[in-house]
Structure 1
Amino acid sequence: MLVQARQLGEDAAKLASAPLWPLTDDEIVDALRAAHRLEQAAAALQARLVQQATARRLPQAQGHRNIAGWLRATLLLDPQPARQLCESASAMARPTVQQAVLDGRLDLRQAVAVAATCDAIPTDLAGLDEIGPGDIDDIVARAESTQIDMAGRLPAYQLRRVGERILAFVAPEIAERADERALAQQEARAHAHRGLTLSLPVDGLVRLSGLLGTEDAATVQAAIQPLCSPAPGDDRTPAQRRADALTEVCRLALRTGELPADGGEPPQLAVTVAYQPLTRALGAAGTDTGQRLSAETVRRIACDARVLPVVLGTAGQVLDVGRTRRLATGSLRRALAVRDRGCAFPDCDRPPRWTDAHHITPWTAGGTTDLSNLVLLCRHHHRRIHDPQSGWHIRTGSDGHPDFIPPPHLDQQRHPRRNLHHLRR
C-alpha cells in the first residue's frame, strides 16, 4: 500500500505540471471534477490512516496531548486543517458514510455534515408512543441514507441546515415532539462545544473564530450593538464596526478593575519594545501573546499605559537580581515572559499567559525564585518535565536562557535543545 501511495503521489505531481492550454472548455470542467474526485479519494485515505493511528494511540505514545496536536507536528499542519482532518476521520468511522465517500457520492465536508446529523438525533426517542426500542437504529439509518441522497444536490452547509429538521423527512409522525427534545440536547451540546480561537498573525491580521450557543451569542450581540451604530461620516463596513465594538467592550472590561488577577497582576496588555538610548528611538514591539506591533502603535498605546522597563543584556537575557519569595509574580513573572516568550519547551507554541513558572532546581531542594532558576512551561510540558519517566532535564545556559536536554532515546548525544518557535529579537 505504501509503495502504491507513493507512486500515486508521483503520478499526481506529474499530472499537476502538465500543460493545460490544449484542453477545450468542456475538458477543463471535466478535468476539474476529476481532480476534485482525486483529492477526495486521497483525503479519504488520510482520514482512514488517522482513524488507525487513533486506534493504536500513536499520538499518546509519541508524547502528544491529542490527535490534532500530533497531526500538526507530523504533517506540519495549521490548527484548522488538523481539526478538519480529525472531523473527517470521525465521520469515516460510519461504514455507510465511508463507502459513499469512496464511491464519490459524498465529499468529506458533506460526510462530516451527514455524521453530525446522525449524531444529533435524540437517543431517547424510544420514550415516544410511536417509537419502539428497536426503531432508533432504523431512524438513524434512514437519516443517513436520506442525506447521502441529498448530497448530490446540496453542499455541506445546506446539508447541515436540512439535518436540523431531518426527522421531518424520515419520521414526520414524531418530528414536532422530538424537535423539542432535540433542541434541549442541541443547547447542551452547543454549551459543551463552545470555544474561541485567535489564529497566528498573517499580514498583520489575526483571524478570530469560534462557536457560541444561541444564548451566549445573543449576549455578545447585545453588548456590541450599542457600539456598532455608524456615526456621521463613518465609512467603516458593518463587519469593521462589529470588530471595533468587540475590542472596545474588552477595553471597557479592562478599565473596570474587576477582572480576576492574571499572573499575579491585574489583566493588562503587556508590550516589550526595543529602545535605542543613543537615539531615544522606539523600535518594533511584541505583545506577551507573540504578536508584533509597529513603533507608532506602541507610542499610541503608551499614551494610556503603565510603562514597566525591562533591561536586556547583549545576549538577550534579562538583567535582574534574585528573589526570595516562593511564587514568581509581579515584575519577575513579567521578566520571565520577556525572556522565554511563552512555553520554553522545544518548539511549543503556548503563549506566556498559558504557562507556569517552573523551578529548575526545586524550591524544596533549596532552589531560589529568581530568573536564573525559573522557566516558563505550559501545563502539558510542566507535567512532562516533572515525570521522571520522560527523561527530559533543564539547565541554564551560559547566556541565561534555559537549555532542554532530551532523553537518550531521542538523542544519544543528548545535545541541548531550545524553542525555535519563540524567536529572539
Structure 2
Amino acid sequence: MSETSPSLVPQQELWQLPAGELAVLLREEFVSWWRQESRIHRIIAHLDNGGARALGYTGVAGLVADIARSSGPGVKKLVKRALATNPGQGIDGAEIPAAAPVGGEAVREGEISPEHVDGIVRVLEKIPAAVSGEDREFAEQTLVELARRAGVREIGKAGKEILDRLDPDGPEPRDIPEPRRELNVHQRKDGSAKFDGYLDPVSAAKTLALLDPLAQSSEGDQDGELVRRSRAERYGDAFMEIIALAASHPESPNRSGGRSGLIVTIPLDALKKELGTACLDMVTDITASEARILACDCRVIPAILDGDGQPLEMGRARRLVTEALRFMLALRDGGCCFPGCSRTPRHCEAHHVVPWAHGGTTDLGNLVLLCAHHHRLLHRSDWTLRMVDGLPEFTPPEFVDPWRRPRTNRHTAQPRAA
C-alpha cells in the first residue's frame, strides 16, 4: 500500500488507485481531521479562560462563530466538545479539571472521533452528582475503550447500561407538592440580582410563549444567536427585552411611558474615555463603558462633577431618542443593523455612530438600530461602524477577517424607494 497521503496525490490520479487504497487514504484523512480538531479544541478552551471577553465577546461561542463565519448547532457542538475535553480556569486562577479528559486524549491521538466524544459527554452529564469520582472515571474509561472499536450508536446503548447500574432507582420523587407560582429575588450588594422560582404548567406555557421566540434565532438567521450565547444568556436577554417592552407601554406601572429612565452619575472625562466607574441610580457602581451604552438610548440626567466628585450642576432629564425619531429609524433600518442579525425594530436600541459624549448628534444620520447583544459587542470589541451613503457599514476585527472587509446587513443594504 502506498504511504502517500491524499493531500499529496494529484486529483487526476486518485481515480487510478484501487478502491482498497482509497478507503485506507480516507481513513488516514479522518484521523488527521480528528487530530486537527483536537488542536482547535485546545485553542477554544484557552480563549474561554477570559480571552473571548477581553476581545469584547460575552462568550467564546460568539467569537468562534465569527471567526469560522458559521452558526447553528455545529458551532455549539464544537465549543461544548472543546470545553468538555480540556481543563478550564476558575476565577481564582485555579485549574478546573476537564469533564472528559480521557476522551479528549483519545481524540488527540486520532483513536476516536469528535462524535464519539459527544456521545460520551452526554452519558457523563447524566451521572448523578452522588456517584463517586472513581466510578465516574471508570465509566468514561469504559466508554472510550468501546469507542476505539465501535460506532457512536453503541456508545449510547452502553451509556444507558452504565447509568442503569450507577443509578438504578432514578431520581427520588418529591414528597412536597410544588407551589403554583413562586419567584425569589436575591438582591446583592453590588446591585445585581439573582432569580429563582417555579411556575405551574399553565403559567410556564404562557411565559415560554413570550420568551422562546426572543431567545431563538429566526429561521435562516445567519447571526448565530443560538450558538453565540449560552441558553441561560439568551433567555436572560429575552427576559430583559420583555421588561423593556413593558416599561415602554403607556400604562406601565413605572409611569415612564417610554424608554428606560435612569440616573447615571459620572465625570465627563470618564464618559468620553470609557475609563473609570459611574454610579447607577445613586447606588450601584458600573463601568464607564456600560454608562456609555446606557447613554445611547436611555433617558439620562447629566451631572457635572468637580475633581473631588462634588456635583456642580444638575441638568434636566433629556430623552436622547424621541419616539418619532425611533419610528424613522425603524423604517430606515428594518431592525438590527449588525451583519446577519434579524432582530425586529421593537427589540432594538438606538446607537450613536459618533458617541453622544464626543459631540455626536441625535439625528437620523448619526443613529442606527442594534439589538442589545450587538450593541454591547460594538461598544466592547474592535468591531467598528461608520455611515456610508446614509447606511451603516461594519468593519470586523482583524482576528475575524485579516483583510477587515466591510460588511452590511442584507435588510439595511437594500436600495430604498424614495
What does residue 413 of structure 2 align with?
Answer: 423
Secondary structure of the corresponding residue to residue 15 of structure 2:
coil
Structure 2 residue aligned with 1:140:
136
Paired residue secondary structure (1:356):
strand
Q: Does 1:95 align with 2:101?
A: yes
Query: SS at 2:413's partner residue?
Result: coil
Q: Identify the residue that residue 200 of structure 1 maps to in structure 2.
A: 220
2:168 alignment partner, SS class: helix
Aligned to 2:351: 358
| SS at 1:343 equivalent | coil
Query: Partner residue of 2:34?
Result: 40
Alignment of 1:9-408 (within 5 A): 13-15=7-9, 17=11, 19-55=13-49, 57-93=50-86, 94-125=100-131, 136-152=132-148, 154-160=150-156, 162-169=158-165, 171=166, 175-177=167-169, 179-180=170-171, 196-200=216-220, 333=326, 335-345=328-338, 347=339, 349-353=341-345, 354-358=347-351, 371-372=364-365, 374-383=367-376, 399-402=389-392
Q: Which amino acid aligns with 2:68?
A: L
Tell me what 1:230 maps to. Answer: none
Relative to structure 2, which stretch is displaced further, 375-384 or 331-340?
331-340
Label 1:142 to 1:333 Cα distance change in 2 as closer, same or farther (>3 A).
same
Where relative contact order (Cα < 8 A, 6+ residues apart) is larger, the structure is: 2
| Cα 1:375/1:87, change in 2 over 3 Å | same
Change (3 A) 1:420 1:358: closer
Structure 2 distance, partners of 1:352, 1:25, is 53
Note the C-alpha offset of 1:140. 0.3
What is the rounded CA distance, in whole Å, between the counterparts of 1:15 and 1:122 in structure 2? Answer: 50
Q: 1:45 and 1:364 mapped to 2: Cα distance?
A: 44
In structure 2, the residue corresponding to 1:375 is in which secondary structure? strand
* Inter-partner Cα distance in structure 2 for 1:138 and 1:391: 46
Cα distance in 2 for partners of 1:167, 1:396 equals: 57
Give the secondary structure class of the aligned counterpart of 1:19.
helix
**C-alpha spacing 1:168/1:14, structure 2 compared with 1 (3 Å):** same
Please give the alpha-carbon distance, in whole angstroms, between the structure 2 residues aligned to 1:46 and 1:356: 35
2 CA distance for matches of 1:103 and 1:31?
17
What do the CA deviations read for 1:183-230 (whole angstroms, capped 9, x no partner)?
A: 9xxxx9xx99x974444279xxxxx99xxxxxxxxxxxxxxxxxxxxx
Contact persistence 1:113–1:156 (CA under 8 A) = yes
Alpha-carbon distance in 2 for matches of 1:31, 1:386: 48
Is the 8 Å Cα contact of residues 360 and 374 (structure 1) preserved in structure 2? Answer: yes
1:376 aligned counterpart, secondary structure:
strand
Give the drift of 1:383: 3.5
Contact 2:6 2:29 in 1 (8 A): no
One-letter amino acid of the structure 2 residue matched with residue 97 of structure 1: G
1:357 aligned counterpart, secondary structure? strand
Cα distance in 2 for partners of 1:361, 1:15 equals: 54
Letter in 2 for 1:150: L
Contact 1:59 1:67 in 2 (8 A): yes
TM, length-normalised to structure 2? 0.50
Deviation at 1:358, TM superposition (A): 3.3
Q: C-alpha displacement at 1:81, in angstroms?
A: 2.8
Letter in 2 for 1:400: G
Per-residue displacement from partner, 1:148-199 (whole Å, max 9, x unpaired)? 1332454335523542442335x4xxx322x22599xxxx9xx99x974444
Distance 1:27 1:405 in 2: 47
Matched AA of 1:73: D
1:344 counterpart SS class: coil
Q: Deviations over 1:25-74 (max 9, x none)?
A: 3223323222222221221222122223323x332222223212211222
Shift of 1:364: 10
- Measured in 1, the distance between the counterparts of 2:42 and 2:382 equals 33
Unaligned runs of 5+ in 2: 87-99, 175-197, 199-203, 228-243, 250-317
Residues matched between the structures, number: 272
Matching residue's letter, 2:337 = A
For 2:334 and 2:10, the matched residues in 1 are separated by 41
Deviation string for 1:231-287 (max 9, x for gaps)? xxxxxxxxxxxxxxxxxxxxxxxxxxxxx969979xxxxxxxxxxxxxxxxxxxxxx
Alpha-carbon separation, structure 2, partners of 1:418 and 1:25: 45
CA distance in 2, matches of 1:332, 1:49: 44
Query: CA separation in 1, counterparts of 2:154 and 2:84?
Result: 17
Aligned-pair Cα RMSD in Å: 4.9
